[in-house]
Amino acid sequence: MSMTNCYNCARENAAGTATCPGCQAILEVAGYRIAGILGQGGYGAVYTATAGPAAAARGAVAAGQAVALKQHFDAAGVTQQRREFAVLNGLGHAHLPHYYETLEAGGQGYLVMELVPGQSLEAVLGRHPAGLVESQVLSYALQLCDVLSYLHGQQPPILHRDIKPANIRLTPEGLIKLVDFGLLKQGLGQTGSALRGLGTPEYAPLEQYGRGGSTDPRSDLYSLGATLYHLLTGHTPEDAISRVTVGSDPLQPPQYYRPDLSSAVGAAILHAMAVRPEDRPATVADLRAALLGLATIPAGAPRPPPAPRPPPSQPPARSPLIPLHLLPAHEHPVGTVAFAPDGRILASGDKSGIVWLWQAHDWTALRSLAMPGQPVNSVAFAPGSHLLAAGTAGGMIYLWQVADGMLLRMMESPVSAVNRVAFSSDGQTLAAATSDNRVNLWRVADGARLATLPPRSRMLMLLDRSAFPLRGRFERTASEAMARCIAFTPDSRLLAVGSDNRTVRLWQVDTRRLLYTLAEDCGVVYHLAFAPDGRSLATASAHGRIDLWRTADGQHLSRRAEHQSYVCSVAFSPDGQLLATGSGDKTIGLWRLRDKRVLGMMRSHTATVASVGFSPGGTLLASGSWDTTVRIWRVDESML
């Protein structure tokens, strides 16, 4: 009997097996044998596959042909897929992939298309964070103008509506391919809300949100302009909503970041990114001419003034974090990062269900771990660095073997999402905080559930009344709340649980007894961490607040509120001297605990900094962000 290995967990399966019994990964669909996964998100996934005889018999592809298989998880996606195929099947252009057939299997829809070799421009940009060479970007821009001119020239016009670096493929021959037409629109009617999304905020024009009229070809020009802006400067542009809700347009000219940029290209990009459609180029041909310096930008076209720079006599403040590396493999928001206890590997998980493992000695990718349709909320290494647990929004906990990426087992949290996972110090117990405000304790050896810590129990309420007024202390009852975060003390005798009903519960692990509950008047508790000596607890919460508590009795010790938005991650350095924070204001905070001094607020990410973590030696800090990147920083020890 012919056997093949599962692309996800490497288990051997008989040829023709539709689903891997070990990890439930899809192995075969309607005659297509799946070889790997290219990417995934909340609505579906894209696989590499090979056409077998059954697929070839339908006449759309040849036996043995490699294809890309785009999957939709639900009925709405299947309907969209049929519509997408109906529009794209009849097209033919050098900068578009071929679309072969659409099919349904197991209640899910699949779109079969050309497998485009190469990489996305997002991946290219990730290796050049300061921006790409202008001549190179101009070559890409002209190719994109050609394909948009073709699409907009159809009757009725075809709009892509999600142009961004992640949806542009660069082949080894230097050819550009525009992919992912999941938000396409044919015709010029009102946009409405029939489609599955609004595009990516940094690249989507205002009218795509239903504001300022309906979408038309000029909407794609805005997205193309925003894409070129990002490729040239390395900075994602301000989103359209922000540009109209503040006093003055915060969008900086591209030359602010790239003074060497030619004036024609810079002006053409700003022209394409005008907030009002009527202020943009009328056609793709007009934008193409402007990029080549063959057209004059109208006098009324908006040109945001450059932001003031500090005078030469005022050098920028020294940062306690020195940027070392940008890890660009993710294509979706990164929600969690964690170093292995031996410091050799960093794990990062994103909202598409992908976890990447990085080798810390050179920051190359070791492997990716896929959890189809399961956005990753949390990752944690076992104390020996040999196991990795991932908690997902779909209520599953995946336990992986780090050495070879083998999936050992899956544990299911009934009904609710898993928001955070944590190993005990002996590695024998795994705790999981869930969206029904419970904590499940699992035995690592066999995946058996040992106990569930309920949302309510007998408790001693400890409240520092001077720090926390009693007004509105609880907006949600314990049963209505969500357990967002957990942490063991270093000796694993105690377990802290933070919830969005403004409380932190402290449990004694061996007796499963609730010792006390801290009640905060600061909203949702997003994250918490014990100091390395276990004597204090840090909590991160709404309103930009970080609080320190004494573990022994719950006494409130101090509070800082430097961030301008919620704090969603907090981490102690291994020596207990520093506290790092990540926030919705896109900054990383670094605090020196002995004198409560703020060492710096770093803003290099372009979206929420969802997770921060120190290396075991304390010399490095990793940060994961909703901007899809992971950044590695060196801690400047001279500032400590």
Q: What is the CATH number of the domain that holds 340?
A: 2.130.10.10
The amino acid occupying position 64 is G
Q: Which residues contact 233 (CB under 8 A, 6 or more apart)?
A: 131, 254, 256, 257, 258
Block residue for tokens 């024009």: 205
Q: Would residue 204 count as lying in a domain?
A: yes
Judged on CB neighbours under 10 Å (0-12, 13-18, 19+), 194 is exposed
Same domain, 76 and 224: no
What DSSP assignment string belongs to 55-67? Answer: HHTTSSS-TT-EE
Same domain, 157 and 13: no
Rounded CA gap, 380 and 377, in Å?
11
Same domain, 110 and 125: no
Same domain, 268 and 281: yes
pLDDT in tens, 6-24: 888 878 888 888 888 888 8
pTM equals 0.54
Q: Would residue 304 count as lying in a domain?
A: no
b or e along 548-581 (b: 16 or more beta carbons within 10 Å of the residue's beta carbon)?
bbebeebebeeebebbeebbbbbbbbeebebbbb
Q: Would residue 246 count as lying in a domain?
A: yes
Alpha helices in 246-302 (DSSP H): 254-257, 263-272, 284-291
Domain that holds residue 95: 3-114
162 annotated active-site: yes
Same domain, 76 and 95: yes
Same domain, 107 and 125: no
Active-site annotation holder among 74, 162, 362, 595: 162
Identify the CATH number of the domain in which residue 212 sits: 1.10.510.10
Q: How far is CA 538 from the centre of its chain?
A: 25
Q: Would residue 630 count as lying in a domain?
A: yes
Same domain, 64 and 142: no
Q: Would residue 298 count as lying in a domain?
A: no
Residue 509 has a pLDDT of 93
- Return mean pLDDT, the chain: 84
Number of domains in the chain: 3
Rounded CA gap, 336 and 612, in Å?
8
Q: Computed from CA positions of residues 501, 623, 167, 365, in that sequence, does the dihedral angle turn out positive or negative?
A: negative
Residue 57 has a pLDDT of 94
Same domain, 109 and 125: no
Closest CA to 137 of 198, 36, 228: 228
Same domain, 442 and 504: yes
Residue 299 has a pLDDT of 57
Q: Would residue 332 count as lying in a domain?
A: yes
* C-alpha to C-alpha distances, 388 to 204, 401, 440, 501, nearest whole angstrom: 37, 6, 17, 29
Q: Which two tokens stand for residue 16?
A: 């023709």
Q: Would residue 301 count as lying in a domain?
A: no
Listed as ranges, residues in the chain with pLDDT below 50 are 188-197, 304-316, 457-480
Q: Would residue 297 count as lying in a domain?
A: no
Residue 80 has a pLDDT of 73
Residue 268 phi, psi dihedral angles, 5° rounding: -65, -40
Same domain, 46 and 146: no
Same domain, 100 and 135: no
Same domain, 150 and 285: yes
pLDDT in tens, 586-631: 899 999 998 888 888 888 888 889 999 999 999 999 999 988 889 9
Instruction: Lay out the sheet containing 364-370: strands in order across.
Output: 334-339, 345-350, 354-359, 364-370
Identify the CATH number of the domain in which residue 11 sits: 3.30.200.20
Residue 282 has a pLDDT of 94
Residue 172 has a pLDDT of 83
